[in-house]
Amino acid sequence: MLQAGDWMPRALIFLFDGTANEPTEPSAEPSNVFKLNSLVAESRSIGRRHRSQVTFYIPGIGTKFTSRGMFSKIRQLWFGDGVYEMVMRAYINLASNYRPGDDLLVIGFSRGAIAARLFCRLVSDFGLLQANSVRYFSDMFEGFSAATKGTFNSYAEAASKFRSQYSEQMLETPSIKFLGLFDCVGGPREFRNFLHVIDQRQSENVLRYVHLMSLHDMRDHFVLARLQPSNGESREIWVPGVHSDVGGGYRHDALANTCLFTMAIALQRDAGIALETTALSKLQDEIDTSLASHLVAVNREGPSVAKKKRNDYFLQSDKVHWIHFVLIGESVHWKDEAYEVYQNRLGDSLAPDDWTRKLLQKLGPFVAAELKRKSPPSRRSRSK
C-alpha cells in the first residue's frame, strides 16, 4: 500500500489547443494537443516513489468554450480574441493547484501556442501568486498585458515593479521544465509586439523547448512566430505538411501522428514524463502502417486571400525532420487533388535533424528499412 511519503512532487502539464479545436464536436478530429492527454500516464514510478502527472486541457479560441454567438466566434477565428482568456484560465488553475517542487510543462498549438508562450512569460516574469492571493491577479494581468505592448526594457521594469510590490503574496517562481509548440502562428497584427519584441528569444526560465513548424502551409495571414533558442537543448524543426498536419485535426493523419509521436518522445526525454506504453505502441504501429500503405496526405490548408511559401522563414542553421527524407520518392495525396511523388524541393537548404532520425528508428519495419535506404543530399551540392 502506498504511503504519503511515497509520492513525489507532481508534473503539471498545461495543454493549450488551437483555433477552433475542441474534442466535443461530433464531426471534429481531435488535435495533437488533446491526444497528448491519452499518451501521458497518470503517474511515473521512480524507484519506490511515484510522481503524479496532471494535465490541464484548455480548449482553443473560436469554440463554444471561449465564444458566445457567431460574431464572437468570427472575431476569435480571425483576430485571435480569446487568447488572453485561455491564459487567465490556465494561470488560475496553476495558482490554485501548484505545490513547491512541482514540475511545470506547457504545450500549445496554433494560437494556443501563442497562449502557451504568454502563459510562460506571465509566470516566469511577473511571478506566481499564492493560492490565497489570487485576488491580486486582475492587477497582475492588467499590468502584464499592457507591458507586452511596449519595449523589452519597459516590460522588464513593469515585471520587476509588480514582483516587488506583491513579493509577500508570491511563491518562488517555478521553472518551465518544457515548452512544446505545434506551429505557433498568429494573424498579421495580433500579439506582434509580444512575439517579436518581448518573447522573440527563449526565456531563461524555460529550460527546454521544441517547436514543430509546417513546411507546406501557404496562408500569408498565418504568420509563423519563431522562437530563438538560448541553449543547445532547445530546437525548432521543420516538418512536412500544412498547419494542421503538424498540430492535428485532419482525418488523414499520418503526418500529424508523426508530430504527435515526436512531441511525446520529447516530453519523455526532456522532461521525464512517463507515457502510456499501450497507447504509444499503437501510435507507432499506425504511423508505420500508414507509411507502408502509402496512406500519407499533405492536406489542404484553410482558405486564404494571399498565399506565400514559408521559405522566407528559413534560417541557415535550420533543421528538417527526418520524415521528410523518408517520404522522398513515395506517393503522397497532395492537398486533396491527386497522388504525387513527394520530392525534395528544398535541395540542401535545410539540414536533417539527427535526433528525429533516432526517433523514427523506434517505429516499425517499413520506416526502419527506409531510413537505411535513403539519405539527405550533401550540403555541398545545391540540387534543385
Would you call 381 exposed, middle or buried from its count of C-beta atoms within 10 A (0-12, 13-18, 19+)?
exposed
The residue among 306 and 205 whose pLDDT is bigger is 205
Task: Tell me the per-residue pLDDT of 207-239, one tens digit each, with 9 for 90 and over.
Answer: 999 999 999 999 998 899 999 998 878 999 999
Residue 275: pLDDT over 70: yes
Q: Residue 303 — very low, low, confident or very high, per pLDDT cuts 50/70/90?
A: confident
Q: 72 is written with which cell numbers?
A: 464572437
- Give me the mean pLDDT over the 62-69 stretch: 48
pLDDT in the model for residue 79: 41
pLDDT in the model for residue 67: 43
Task: Tell me the per-residue pLDDT of 2-42, one tens digit each, with 9 for 90 and over.
Answer: 455 556 899 999 999 987 555 556 667 899 999 998 899 99
Residue 159 in contact with residue 54, Cβ under 8 Å? no
pLDDT in the model for residue 338: 87
Q: 300 is written with which cell numbers?
A: 489542404
Residue 65 in contact with residue 82, Cβ under 8 Å? no
Q: What is the DSSP string of 224-292?
A: E---B-SSTT-EEEEESS-HHHHH---SS-HHHHHHHHHHHHHHHHHH---B-HHHHHHHHHHHHHHHH
pLDDT in the model for residue 347: 82
φ, ψ dihedrals at 84, nearest 5°: -60, -35
Residue 74: pLDDT over 50: no
Q: Residue 354 — very low, low, confident or very high, per pLDDT cuts 50/70/90?
A: very high
pLDDT in the model for residue 25: 63
pLDDT in the model for residue 243: 95
Task: Tell me the per-residue pLDDT of 136-167, one tens digit each, with 9 for 90 and over.
Answer: 999 999 999 999 999 999 999 999 999 999 99
Q: Which fold has domain 7-276?
A: Rossmann fold (3.40.50)
| % of the chain surpassing 70 pLDDT | 89
pTM comes to 0.91
Q: Strands (DSSP E) along 17-141, which ranges?
A: 43-46, 49-58, 103-109, 128-129
- Residue 83's Cβ-side half-sphere holds a number of Cα atoms within 13 Å equal to 28
Q: Residue 202 — very low, low, confident or very high, per pLDDT cuts 50/70/90?
A: very high
Q: How far apart are CA 259 and CA 120, in angstroms?
A: 22
The helix/strand/coil state of 222 is coil
Residue 279: pLDDT over 70: yes
Interacting residues of 150 by C-beta distance below 8 A, sequence separation 6+? 158, 193
- Give me the mean pLDDT over the 311-322 stretch: 94
pLDDT in the model for residue 26: 60
Q: How far apart are CA 341 and CA 166, in angstroms?
A: 60
The residue among 49 and 280 whose pLDDT is bigger is 280
Query: What is the length of the chain?
Result: 384
Amino acid at 191: F
Residue 11 in contact with residue 102, Cβ under 8 Å? yes
pLDDT in the model for residue 238: 98
Angle value at C-alpha 241, between 236 and 244, nearest 5 degrees: 90
Task: Tell me the per-residue pLDDT of 94-136, one tens digit each, with 9 for 90 and over.
Answer: 999 999 999 999 999 999 999 999 999 999 999 999 999 999 9
Measured between its terminal Cα atoms, the distance across the chain in Å is: 64
Q: How far apart are CA 270 and CA 116, in angstroms?
A: 18
